[in-house]
Amino acid sequence: MEVGFTLNGTAQRLDVPTHWTLLRMLRDIAGSTDVKHGCGEGVCGACAVLVDGVAMNSCSVLAPQVDGAAVETVDGLAEGGKLHPLQAEMVTRGGVQCGFCTPGMVLSALEAVRIGAAGSDEEIRHSLAGNLCRCTGYGKIIEAVSTYRDGNAADDVPTEASEHEHLPDRTGGSAPAPGVGIGH
């Protein structure tokens, strides 16, 4: 079946089997490896994308269901060589470690802020309830979303991880920066 949709603002027309999930179509045909394959059961949120502005677990959506829709992944957020301010705030606040959950976490949080469902830390927690993180914990992620929501987010973090080579790690040394959804 041919599925026509926009992916990060670019028109796509892809031929996919009707039983394929949006996750599989995005990763295997469109090459969007920023969409992570986590549980495959709609539980962890690692594969979250925005479909017409609504965060959805792409492993639970059949590819034909996005025919005519606008799909946004975390790779579509960066502009002009800079991370989206929410991504930058995640880096600045230390709301990332391995980075696997980060793309879905960022998109779920972004939807919550856009629709006004992130007015308090409790609302942010509620909006991220479908996103699991086993490395960072949620405190720094909630701080990052809160700071972004309040308009105080960092906006000068470059998208290239190599430009973050000397971020301190938890032991006080230095470690390469996590991909923050920009790496593959």
Over residues 59-118, the pLDDT tens digits come to 999 999 999 999 999 999 988 889 999 999 999 998 888 889 999 999 999 999 999 999
pTM recorded for the entire structure = 0.82
d(CA 33, CA 28): 8
At 57, the amino acid letter reads N
Residue 99 lies in a domain: yes
For residues 112 and 127, is the Cβ–Cβ distance under 8 A? yes
Look at residues 56, 76, 96 and tell me which one is the last residue of a structural domain: 76
Cα→Cα distances 71→96, 118, 160, Å: 24, 22, 23
Residue 181 lies in a domain: no
Identify the three-state secondary structure at position 128.
coil
Average pLDDT score over residue span 146-164? 68
What is the domain range of residue 145? 85-175
pLDDT attached to residue 136: 82
For residues 65 and 11, is the Cβ–Cβ distance under 8 A? no
Q: What is the pLDDT of residues 128-140, one digit of tens each?
A: 999 999 888 899 9
pLDDT attached to residue 141: 95
Q: For residue 27, which of 11, 18, 38 has the smallest C-alpha distance?
A: 38
